[in-house]
Chain A
Amino acid sequence: MHTKTRRNLILSTGLSLIALLTTVAVAQTSRPSPTPASDEANGTYGNYNVIASAEFGARGLSVNGDQEKYKSDLNYRAGARLFNTSFFVQDHTTGMKLFDEALVQASGWGSDPTGSFRLNMSKAGIYKFDSSVRKVDYYNNLNNFALGYAFPTNFGSEHRFSDVKRHFGDFDLTVFPESQTFRMRFGYSFNNQSGPGTWTMRYPGFEAHTYTPPPVTSGTPLPNTTGTRGDEFLVNSDFKNNSQDFRAGVEGKLLDFNLGLNYGHRNFNDDTRYYLNQFSLGNDTSQATTGTISATVNNFQRTYPTKGSTDFFNFYVQRTFARRFDFSGRFIYGNSTSDIGQIDTGSGTSSGNTTSSTARVIFDLDQIFVTGKVKRPQSRGDIGLTYRITDNFRISNTFNFDQFIIGGTSDFFENMQGRSQFTNANAPNGVPFNSNSHTLFTDGTHYRRFTNLIEADYQVNRRFAFNIGYRYTHRRVALSAFEKNLIGGVTVEDEFEEDSNSTNSLILGTRFKPTNNWNVYVDFEKGQSDNVFTRLSNNDYTSFRVRSITNLKLWTINVSGLIRDNDNPGTSVPISFTNSSTTPPTTVTIPATEAVASTSTRFFSGSVDYSPVDRWSFSAGYTYNHQTSNTDVIVPVGTPVITTGTAFSFAKSLYYVRDNYFFFDVTVKPTKRLTAFVSYRIDNDSGQGDKVATNPFDIITSYPMKFQTPEVKVTYRINDHIDWNFGYQYYSYSERQIPNPYAWVVLAGSPNRLGTVANQNYSAHMPYTSVTIYFGRSDR
């Protein structure tokens, strides 16, 4: 829709809404109401009830150790801040008034890295308004051992976000919210992200560039100008993307059916810029004067203006027939579109050799222009039915289908101008070139899935109930890729592949109450799930979960456990893998074995809350997470470990979590005016322990770390309305690298790569003081 038309539509809709609300408000008979007596202790001020608390404070900060990791994990800063604050007011006057009740909440503004503001207002019979605005100061440091160490010491590795500001907002208005016959809904959301960071790129492109020079009449023929592989470069980025959502809908009841129809529209823009304004040697810094020299960049600019939009509508229907048969259905149709634009401009050199035919190429100008359009129409439908056969026995069936197609074109044009660095009498300044490539890509993704879950639940008595169910899922996925060289008219790629699979699952569950205040839940599920990773075949999974919640007079005890195993049935036939990277392709045969992809998960969690008297309370908990993932993979390893060329081998990919989490919170009121809060949290993951790879192919990882934070806070009640808080919080983080003799290899010309990366340990001290102001809190 044209921007101006959309603006007019929004404006007219907003004006209509305001007119409607004003009319309705004025229609209310205005009559002065008697003023009741005030009771400030309970928050009653005349016709108003006000319950509020606000905490304003200031934090000190001292960080030792890895500042970047601290900012990535916590990012608390010294300075003033607003903590969990709420303001709730009820207006009991009759006649014209703006609201019956309003709730304002805010937290985290100031020196906190995240903050939120929420406003909820409502007036009976007229409207309900919910809104929230949130901000996040996003700092994401990834320079750690688990991600590898691809760059020299003075560079960060990979993608970092340095103080990227993220803002989110949601506004929802329901008109006539209590009406069962007609309601209107309007909504608006925004989502902005902007800020500096770093990114990586591979330059020049992976594709080798070859220019065949003209023949010479005498002397040494001019060689082909061939640029070989490039290098990885760290570039700067200014992240900037945003989206805006608009929603409108009507709901109501017609012929006893509850109906709803909603329309939504999202605009999305990505104007992120990537740039490199100084000479860069990249990852491989070998710059010998002769022989092989790595790629370099003189400058680089990328603009990435991408605009997208989504239009969707959502229709739902629900009805309960004779209090026995409940039916609900939903249909969603959405169409997302992206308009692609990208412009790259750069100059530099490829890697290559200054003296041989694989000459290093100097790019005086390398420009890429990309345009295109992609669409994704998607439809989703759901039907749920529940039949209450008796008061204790119900049968339900839920059917879902989901289908989408992603398809579009990307028109890729590249112009490269430069010269080879090789010189001879026939080319004293190098062999120049000016070449274009123009490629059209059309890729498609087709997805269709439907799921049916039928289940029955029976309430034997107040103390015991059980349910049984069966789920069937069928899924079909198809991927297509088409690539055509528009200059030569040659179709480079035209592929289509399709896969479909079905899964079956059995679900059992029971709930029983041994006593009135003790509930036990047991769930068992066995069946098949999609094998997300190796695609060998579906996983056979077994999941068993038990939870016990006991609410005694002074105690609440919650214990839960989960056992889940995903096992791939594997194969017992030899697996042949064709290495198409070699010429001619070679075939690697893996001996007959049962290829495995299995994950076992064990979760145990327990917590206790104890509140014997008003003056003190205690809560503590422990969670243990035990996970082992074992997946067979095929990994290529070459020089310098394998000196006879690259070898592919069947290998193990193992991942471990052995995580222990413990916390306790104690609140004590030794006197009427004094309250002390003490808390301690520790998270300790020992990971893989001492397990290391015994061959260069296996990948064994975990993230052993310890994170703990003790905290002490003392609150002094100055009067009925004001508390003064002061406290201290300490954070400590440490991690442990597991040495892997095959992981780190000296890269020629880059002596800093050997060895391990420094652990990102840090500790932080945070003294804190604040004032909390209360209104209407008679419970204090």
Chain B
Amino acid sequence: MPSTKRLKIVLLAVFAMFAIVWFASGTLYTVLGTSTADDLTGLTMPAAAADDGYVGSDTCAACHEDQFKSFSRTKHSKLGQIKSWKDKVQGCESCHGPGKAHVEGGGDKTKIVNPKHLDPKAASETCLACHAGKESHNNFRRGEHWRNNIGCNDCHSAHPSERAIAENGSMTLIKEQADNKLLKAGEPQLCLSCHNEQKSQFTKPFHHKVLEGTMKCSDCHNAHGGFESKQAKLSVGADVACIKCHSSKQGPFAFEHAPAKLEGCTACHIPHGSSNPKMLKRASVRQLCFECHTGITEELSPQAPSLHNQAQVRYQQCTVCHNAIHGSNSSALFFR
């Protein structure tokens, strides 16, 4: 039996085993629960928790009506409808802490947690208490945003004043895409509000269509951090994000152009945008090739041979002959 087939069967068996163990542990009922038809808002507190200084979100709503209303529109407000969350703290006090002392103190601000007054890392720990378990958030504490004191509240709002709306400005470039992830602004405007230098790259003649709305920054980057450089995402297993769409470059090829896999696509290309065709790092293809294929060192990349007379125009266009430059299945010199 081919090894690949065996691997697939093993993986399916492990998957099935997980499901069986989980079903047998009786957690299905916990997950499914029953609807809380009697509670339209879903903002309830477990009875046991009330003794710990929690008063319930309805109490908060009495004074903070606007925040309560905007919160009620979000997914966080629906947690009370899920049985697996009924024994957990949800609602306003899941982020702001127990409210009993704050209420009894006549709204004493020192007796309630306001994430706006916390430093970003401390405020983010509140969010990570629930959101850290998913792969996309697991490395937030080791990411670039965290390192630069950009916390969850810098991009997200738990009770947003704005809702999921699209904003247009130009007739050809969008301003913000509508979003349902509690972002303070939509992509790309949100990202460009800090990373403003990228806007010029997306305006170059050859660019990924982010400002046009066809792509998002989050298609290639994980804003919540990651193990990869520049918080780039992976695709198709452990491959670079580029391969997700540019599948014809994935390979593997019988004759690999080594830098494409060893250095990555950014060895030759500028991913956001470039004046150079094909978003290359150099205006001239031959220049890009010569900077590797030069005899200063013979290691790993051979010198262009003498017949490549650079005084003749036919030899200045390397990829006219070496056209399978990302890898070839039939020519070690990438002729086909």
Residues of A within 8 A of B (CB-CB), count: 243
Q: Among A147, A261, A621, which residue has its beta carbon within 8 angstroms of that of B15? A: A261
Inside 8 A of A76's CB, which chain B residues have their CB? 172
Give complex CA distance A713, B171 in Å.
7
Q: Among A49, A653, A703, A742, which residue has its beta carbon within 8 angstroms of that of B290? A: A653
Shortest B284–chain A CB gap in Å is: 4
Supposing A398-B142, A653-B291 touch, asked if A711 and B171 sit within 8 A by C-beta, the answer is yes
Contact check, A699 vs B254: say whether CB atoms are below 8 A apart: no
Contact check, A146 vs B174: say whether CB atoms are below 8 A apart: no
A443 at the interface (CB under 8 A from B): yes
Give complex CA distance A296, B216 in Å.
47
Contact check, A631 vs B291: say whether CB atoms are below 8 A apart: yes
Give complex CA distance A640, B309 in Å.
9
Shortest A602–chain B CB gap in Å is: 11
A511 at the interface (CB under 8 A from B): yes
Contact check, A1 vs B82: say whether CB atoms are below 8 A apart: no
Q: Among B215, B250, B255, B259, which residue has its beta carbon within 8 angstroms of that of A443? A: B255
Give complex CA distance A634, B297 in Å.
10
Contact check, A310 vs B236: say whether CB atoms are below 8 A apart: yes
Within 8 A of A (CB), among B273-296: 275-278, 281-287, 290-292, 294-296
B307 at the interface (CB under 8 A from A): yes
B79 at the interface (CB under 8 A from A): yes
B110 at the interface (CB under 8 A from A): no
Contact check, B311 vs A105: say whether CB atoms are below 8 A apart: no
20 contacts between A and B (CB under 8 A): A88-B165, A108-B213, A146-B284, A149-B313, A316-B138, A336-B237, A406-B251, A443-B332, A459-B149, A534-B297, A535-B296, A535-B300, A579-B303, A631-B291, A636-B310, A655-B287, A701-B283, A729-B172, A745-B313, A770-B171
Which DSSP category, helix, strand, loop or mixed, fits chain A's interface?
strand
Question: Which stretch (A252-260, A354-362, A420-428) binds chain B?
Answer: A252-260
Contact check, A105 vs B166: say whether CB atoms are below 8 A apart: yes
- Indicate with 1 or 0, residue by residue over A287-314, a CB within 8 angstroms of chain B CB atoms: 0000000000000001000101011111
Question: Which stretch (A213-221, A323-331, A429-437) binds chain B?
Answer: A323-331
Closest chain A residue to B135, Cβ basis: A316
Supposing A150-B317, A261-B15 touch, asked if A635 and B290 sit within 8 A by C-beta, the answer is yes
Closest chain A residue to B2, Cβ basis: A1
Inside 8 A of B73's CB, which chain A residues have their CB? 49, 90
Inside 8 A of B221's CB, which chain A residues have their CB? none
Contact check, B37 vs A29: say whether CB atoms are below 8 A apart: yes
Instruction: Give me 8 other A-B pairs in contact (C-beta within 8 A), A107-B213, A632-B294 excluded.
Output: A73-B206, A86-B165, A180-B84, A483-B332, A511-B149, A556-B193, A667-B169, A742-B311
Contact check, B205 vs A374: say whether CB atoms are below 8 A apart: no
B180 at the interface (CB under 8 A from A): yes
- Indicate with 1 or 0, residue by residue over A769-780, a CB within 8 angstroms of chain B CB atoms: 010100001010
Give complex CA distance A435, B321 in Å.
24
B62 at the interface (CB under 8 A from A): no
Shortest B255–chain A CB gap in Å is: 6
Q: Among B15, B82, B237, which residue has its beta carbon within 8 angstroms of that of A124? A: B82
- Indicate with 1 or 0, residue by residue over B11-48, a CB within 8 angstroms of chain A CB atoms: 11011001100100001101111110100101000000
Inside 8 A of B59's CB, which chain A residues have their CB? none
Contact check, A747 vs B312: say whether CB atoms are below 8 A apart: yes
Shortest A734–chain B CB gap in Å is: 11
Shortest B180–chain A CB gap in Å is: 5
* Number of chain B interface residues as a range: 35 or more
Inside 8 A of A67's CB, which chain B residues have their CB? none
Give complex CA distance A114, B174 in Å.
13
Inside 8 A of A180's CB, which chain B residues have their CB? 84, 130, 133
Shortest B141–chain A CB gap in Å is: 5
Give complex CA distance A558, B194 in Å.
7
Give complex CA distance A95, B164 in Å.
25
Q: Among B134, B193, B290, B321, which residue has its beta carbon within 8 angstroms of that of A558? A: B193
A140 at the interface (CB under 8 A from B): yes
Within 8 A of B (CB), among A128-181: 134, 136, 140, 142, 144, 146-150, 157-159, 166, 168, 176, 178-181
Give complex CA distance A73, B112 in Å.
55
Give complex CA distance A200, B4 in Å.
37
Inside 8 A of B292's CB, which chain A residues have their CB? 532-535
B336 at the interface (CB under 8 A from A): yes
Contact check, B301 vs A337: say whether CB atoms are below 8 A apart: no
A238 at the interface (CB under 8 A from B): no
Shortest A638–chain B CB gap in Å is: 4
Q: Among A125, A136, A245, A462, which residue has its beta carbon within 8 angstroms of that of B236? A: A245
Closest chain A residue to B305, Cβ basis: A581
Give complex CA distance A261, B252 in Å.
25
B199 at the interface (CB under 8 A from A): yes
Shortest A764–chain B CB gap in Å is: 11
Supposing A260-B135, A532-B267 touch, asked if A632 and B296 sit within 8 A by C-beta, the answer is yes
Closest chain B residue to A270, Cβ basis: B248
Contact check, B296 vs A665: say whether CB atoms are below 8 A apart: no
Closest chain B residue to A310, Cβ basis: B236
- Indicate with 1 or 0, residue by residue over A753-780, a CB within 8 angstroms of chain B CB atoms: 1000000000000101010100001010
- Indicate with 1 or 0, residue by residue over A674-704, a CB within 8 angstroms of chain B CB atoms: 0001010101010100000000110101110
Q: Among B139, B205, B259, B291, which residue has its beta carbon within 8 angstroms of that of A534? A: B291
Closest chain B residue to A245, Cβ basis: B236
Contact check, B329 vs A340: say whether CB atoms are below 8 A apart: yes
Inside 8 A of B296's CB, which chain A residues have their CB? 534-536, 575, 577, 590, 595, 632-634
B258 at the interface (CB under 8 A from A): yes
Within 8 A of B (CB), among A82-120: 83-86, 88, 90, 92, 94-95, 100-101, 103, 105, 107-108, 112, 114-116, 120
Supposing A178-B85, A701-B284 touch, asked if A638 and B309 sit within 8 A by C-beta, the answer is yes
A40 at the interface (CB under 8 A from B): no
Contact check, A536 vs B236: say whether CB atoms are below 8 A apart: no
B234 at the interface (CB under 8 A from A): yes
Contact check, A84 vs B177: say whether CB atoms are below 8 A apart: yes
Supposing A83-B171, A176-B31 touch, asked if A634 and B317 sit within 8 A by C-beta, the answer is no
Give complex CA distance A85, B323 in Å.
41
Give complex CA distance A561, B129 in Å.
35
Query: Which 9 pairs of residues, A with B, have the shortest CB-CB distance?
Result: A334-B237, A312-B237, A258-B133, A86-B178, A661-B200, A124-B78, A410-B254, A577-B295, A605-B197
Give complex CA distance A772, B166 in Å.
12
Within 8 A of A (CB), among B109-166: 119, 121-122, 125, 128, 130, 132-135, 138-139, 141-142, 147-149, 162-166
Shortest B160–chain A CB gap in Å is: 12
Closest chain B residue to A190, Cβ basis: B247
Give complex CA distance A219, B327 in Å.
50
Closest chain B residue to A444, Cβ basis: B256
Question: Which stretch (B50-58, B93-101, B238-246) binds chain A?
Answer: B238-246
Inside 8 A of B237's CB, which chain A residues have their CB? 264, 310, 312, 314, 332-334, 336, 378
Within 8 A of B (CB), among A515-550: 519, 521, 523, 530, 532-536, 547, 549
A363 at the interface (CB under 8 A from B): no
Supposing A243-B247, A391-B122, A638-B311 touch, asked if A342 and B205 sit within 8 A by C-beta, the answer is no
A628 at the interface (CB under 8 A from B): no
Q: Among A193, A511, A638, A661, which residue has its beta carbon within 8 angstroms of that of B148? A: A511
Supposing A146-B277, A342-B329 touch, asked if A477 and B148 sit within 8 A by C-beta, the answer is no
Contact check, A663 vs B329: say whether CB atoms are below 8 A apart: no
Inside 8 A of B28's CB, which chain A residues have their CB? 182
Contact check, A663 vs B31: say whether CB atoms are below 8 A apart: no
Inside 8 A of B67's CB, which chain A residues have their CB? none
Contact check, B255 vs A84: say whether CB atoms are below 8 A apart: no
Contact check, B133 vs A253: say whether CB atoms are below 8 A apart: yes
Inside 8 A of A250's CB, which chain B residues have their CB? 15, 18-19, 22
